[in-house]
Structure 1
Amino acid sequence: MKAIFLPSTIRKPFAFIDHCIEKTLDKVGVHPLVHLPGKGFAKRIRQSIQQFQPAFLLANLGCRLTSQELEVIQSLSIPTVIWYTDDPYAIDQSLTTCRFFDYIFTNEEAAISVYQGAGCDNVYHLPLATSLPTFTPRKIALRYQSDVLILGSAFLNRLEEVDFLARRLPSSTLKIVGPGWRKLSNYRRLQDRIRGGWVDPKEAARYYSGAKIVLNIHRAANDPHLGQNRQGVAALTPNNRLFEIASCRAYQLMSYRPGITSLFAGGEIDTYNGRDELPERIRTLLKQEKWRQESAERACALTWQQHRYVHRIQRILKELPFESVKWKSAR
């Protein structure tokens, strides 16, 4: 079976998700025909359909598709699918493209009713996932080791939480990785503990594997960076780091989101509800090596069993109108 795949074409951070989707399609027995937006899009798509007879079209995010390209997609005779992988932060943009697709998958549970309200009939919740072997346990060099790791972009609420911790924990406890952290009020105090700029997924996995605690601070649903959530859609579903950290068999302490209870129903992931509890929780957890290891092992096992990209792609295929098709199993 073949399928047309339209990647997001956004380099950071969605290029890796594009890569995972493309490779996973092939892994489950669907050969992806990759097309990029741009000159000759309509002609290229129609030629692919005539020559290769793809069973469906799948797009990731879709924010760079023009109105003309969206109309081409809407006119196709094959099922068309889009996976929105940046909700709720970019949902304003997503609402301008959703009506052109037959099937809508969103990483954010709270967005389902929003798309249904926009007139979309087939809407499903599909969280992000982890990718093997990128995110797997590994032995790492001393430079990747830390007591408490914060990895990611310095969104406003993350800056506030790290500044809060910097005033209550020794600076040597923290390691901070990612772009934008010069905006910290405590930057001078922490600058020797900061590695600025983007790191690729393999490098991120090394940092996860080297940390005693990975502090997974969710971005606020109303974060002003993109300004693409004017409806104030909630953020109920945990981020992709939940799965990537767990997949490395690293212990994480995650800011609470309600969706964790359905994804890890056995309490495999520890959460916190507010920054005030963090300093004491961290001090206690740093002394509880056995607990951290056991929790990380349980979370890793469940992630490998249920939360890889192969599971997500199989879920998409399950919802499409195919009969008597046996997909390759997740291994």
Structure 2
Amino acid sequence: MLQQGKHSARPFPRDPSDDSGRKGWEDGLRDGYAEGYMRGHAKVIVERTRPFFPVRKIKVLYVSSGKGFPYMPIDEAVVETLKTLTADVITTESRQPEIRELAVKHRPDLVLALDGMDLPVEQIDAVRALGIRTAIWLTDDPYYSDMTLKIAPHYDYVFTLERNCIDVYRGLGCRNVYYLPFAAYVSHYRPTLTLSAIRRQISFIGSAYWNRVEFLRPVIGGLMEKGLRINGIWWDRLPEYEQYPDRIEIGKWMGPMETAEVYSGTKIVINLHRSPFDETVNNNSAKIAAHSPNPRTFEISACGTLQLVDSREDLSSFYKPGVEIETFSNSAELMDKVNYYLSHEKERQQIALRALERTFRDHTYSHRLNELLGYIFE
């Protein structure tokens, strides 16, 4: 019973003419329910039992890229996953001169290098001379093909994350070439399962390559009105940058945990691939086209958010467009789909949850490295 003189808490304004207050209350209730629905369903997906992968009785000498960030999280993903799939993992860096000596000492069944552009091929030749298998997982195909075409023939096994590069490497005499894109390291990339401290409408995280700047310019005003936030380097290249200094954070590499938190706290994350033909940053004089999805495709999907990604021919091999992911072909289509999904919450959530489920089921580093080891040892 209410006491005389005390104010009771009421769910919306007593004045029936105050529609703005009522609407705010209703919007908050609806958003809170939607947030709880997403987090609850994401928790079920993340905690569900996953496929079993065998532990092979082999020893791997892993040679990291040696480049630090942003390659360092990939090195961590590979090393920690290999520890769950093999009997023993020895690690070193590409700039270390004693790789052959380590191979002599430990007699690994495989020497696996990531990237390999800073690893002298003489070291790999010396390891092969010992009768030890060697493999390289190339991280940036086809953007630096001028370098990778020179080093790939020195390895027994070549793994590339670009399908278009398979025949190129085979044409050089590489006998064992396989398509193996990166994946989501789910210890880093996963949804926030409690109420997120980050609440964004739209996010883009990545560097301002020129093709991205030109693509976004026609719709940057509309995207900003809808709540776009950008994090990454070089975004002062955008002529409209000074209009949005509080919405564009430049000069910072975000680590994987921070990136995952932003992805998970955002309703729509835009993924726009870089161009393989940008001569200002690439070394791809052979003009090899890029048709395969970038690593962010899997990382965004692993965080339980709707991803809008520019169409690539090989994307449908991993996610079903319109079901587990959404695509766009031009700036106008991107803007149309942003408007649509910001006003169709249920559809947005369903696609995001399907992407999360598909990623944890098929696109983790455990899947990829089990596949890699299978090609070599089976």
Normalised TM-score (structure 1): 0.91
Structure 1 match to 2:260? 205
Tell me the secondary structure at the aligned position of residue 124 of structure 1.
strand
Paired residues of 1:35 and 1:45 also in contact (CA < 8 A): no
Q: Note if 1:97 corresponds to 2:151.
A: yes
C-alpha distance 45-255 of structure 1, shift in aligned 2 (>3 A): same
1:306 matched to 2:362: yes
1:321 counterpart = 2:377: yes
The 3-state SS of whatever aligns with 2:245 is helix
Match of 1:215 in 2: 270
Alignment partner of 2:93: what SS? coil
Local SS of the residue matching 1:136: coil
1:57 matches 2:111 = yes
2:202 aligned to which of 107, 131, 148: 148
Q: Percent identity?
A: 33
Q: Is residue 2:334 matched to residue 1:269?
A: no
In 1, are the aligned partners of 2:111 and 2:132 still within 8 Å (CA)? yes
Residue in structure 1 matched with residue 81 of structure 2 by the alignment:
24
Please give the alpha-carbon distance, in whole angstroms, between the structure 2 residues aligned to 1:122 and 1:309: 21
1:134 paired to 2:191: no
CA RMSD of aligned residues (A): 1.7
Equivalent of residue 122 in structure 1, options 158, 176, 186 = 176
**Which residue matches 1:329?**
none
How far off is 1:165 after superposition? 1.9
CA distance in 2, matches of 1:25, 1:225: 36
- Per-residue Cα deviation, 1:133-185 (whole angstroms, up to 9, x for no partner): 2111104654x322111111111111122322223344452100111111111
Post-superposition offset of 1:38: 3.9
**Preserved contact between residue 106 and residue 126 of structure 1 (Cα < 8 Å):** yes
Q: Residues 66 and 95 of structure 2 are in contact (CA less than 8 Å); yes or no, is this contact kept in structure 1?
A: no
Secondary structure (helix, strand or coil) at the match of 1:192 reads: coil
CA contact (8 A) 1:171 1:193 kept: no
The reply on whether 1:8 has 2:65 as its aligned counterpart is: yes
Deviations 1:34-58 (A, max 9, x none): 12234542xx533x33433211110
State whether residues 65 and 94 of structure 2, in contact with CA within 8 Å, keep that contact through their aligned partners in structure 1. Answer: no
| Cα separation, 2, equivalents of 1:186 and 1:27 | 48
C-alpha displacement of 1:233: 0.8
What code does the residue aligned with 2:215 have?
A: E
Deviation of residue 127 (structure 1)? 0.6
Match of 1:109 among 155, 163, 167: 163
Map of 1:186 onto structure 2: 240
CA distance in 2, matches of 1:192, 1:224: 31
Amino acid of the residue matched to residue 218 of structure 1?
A: H
What is the CA-CA distance between 1:295 and the residue it aligns to?
Answer: 0.4
- Going from structure 1 to structure 2, the CA distance change for 1:68 and 1:187 (only over 3 Å counts) comes to same
Report what 2:347 is aligned to.
291
Equivalent residues, number: 318
1 CA distance for matches of 2:269 and 2:95? Answer: 40
CA contact (8 A) 2:124 2:134 kept: no
Name the amino acid aligned to 1:114: V
Q: What are the ranges of 5 or more consecutive residues in structure 1 without an aligned counterpart?
A: 323-331
Provide the C-alpha distance between the structure 2 equivalents of 1:101 and 1:216, rounded to a whole number of angstroms: 33
Counterparts of 1:90 and 1:240, CA distance in 2: 16
SS in 1 for 2:86: coil
Rg larger for: 2
User: Which blocks of at least 5 consecutive residues in structure 2 are unaligned?
Assistant: 1-57
Question: Contact 1:140/1:209 (CA < 8 Å) preserved in 2?
Answer: no
- 1:45 corresponds to which residue? 100
- Quick one: distance in 1 between partners of 2:110 and 2:90? 10
Find the aligned partners of 1:127 and 1:40 in 2 and give their Cα distance: 29
Contact 1:18 1:60 in 2 (8 A): yes
Contact 1:136 1:247 in 2 (8 A): yes
Q: 1:115-145, CA deviations, whole angstroms, 9 ceiling, x for partnerless residues?
A: 0111111100001100112111104654x32
TM-score normalised according to structure 2 size: 0.80
Residues 1:159 and 1:24: Cα distance change in structure 2 (over 3 Å): same
Q: Which position in structure 1 is the counterpart of 2:214?
A: 160
